[in-house]
Amino acid sequence: MTEVPIKSSNANLFILSSVAGGGKSTLIGKLLTEFPFLKFSISSTTRKPRKGDIPGISYNFLSVDEFEKGISNNQFLEWAKVHGNYYGTPRDYIESAIRNNENIILDIDVQGARLVKQQLPNSKSIFILPPSEEIWIQRLIGRGSDDEESIQRRIENGRKELLEKDQFDYQIVNDDLETALQELISIIRPNIT
């Protein structure tokens, strides 16, 4: 992977990670309302769209062949196979935003966060923690968007991801959505104003 040219940029890159069902997508949506000038990096995935997903807004939905071709052509800043599907961050989008000194937020898994942090050490990484495993699993099931096999795979993967929380610059417990949002804003605001 080639390094993204961030050294001479005033851009700020924020990486948000969590377990599936940890609430990071909800927090990002609220954050983008608070800071509409933040650029949101739309990930690419081979996962099938869920109810409510909008192609090009929720994700860039690709076939496995399209994604693997993108891997071969170095089109992703980072990519991983998670929960049985490919996920990745489009390199061109990030490089363009950095060249234009734009502030960017990424919603990626812990593997991707590690890879981005290696390439862009000035980025700020934030892990959103569920208040407890029991509440997290209830939230994951309550989404109603995954079958039983997918839920079990996400729980198994999430338990491993939780072990990596200390690798992040910041941790926020998403017990109360508004409190978690204010904590997130308190991390973002000083870095972009």
- Residues 143, 132: Cα–Cα separation, whole Å: 17
DSSP secondary structure, 100-139, as one string: TT--EEEE--HHHHHHHHHH-TTSEEEEEE-S-HHHHHHH
Domain map (residue ranges) of the chain: 13-192
pLDDT in tens, the chain (193 residues): 444 444 446 789 999 999 888 888 889 999 999 998 899 999 999 998 888 888 888 889 999 999 999 999 999 999 988 778 899 999 999 989 988 989 999 998 898 899 999 988 989 999 999 988 888 888 888 776 677 888 888 888 889 999 999 999 999 999 999 999 999 999 999 888 6
Q: Does domain 13-192 have CATH number 1.10.3720.10?
A: no
What integer pLDDT is reported at residue 68 of this predicted model?
Answer: 96
Q: Convert the pLDDT of each residue in 126-140 to its tens digit.
A: 999 998 888 888 888
Q: Convert the pLDDT of each residue in 34-58 to its tens digit.
A: 998 899 999 999 998 888 888 888 8
Paired tokens of 58: 């929720």
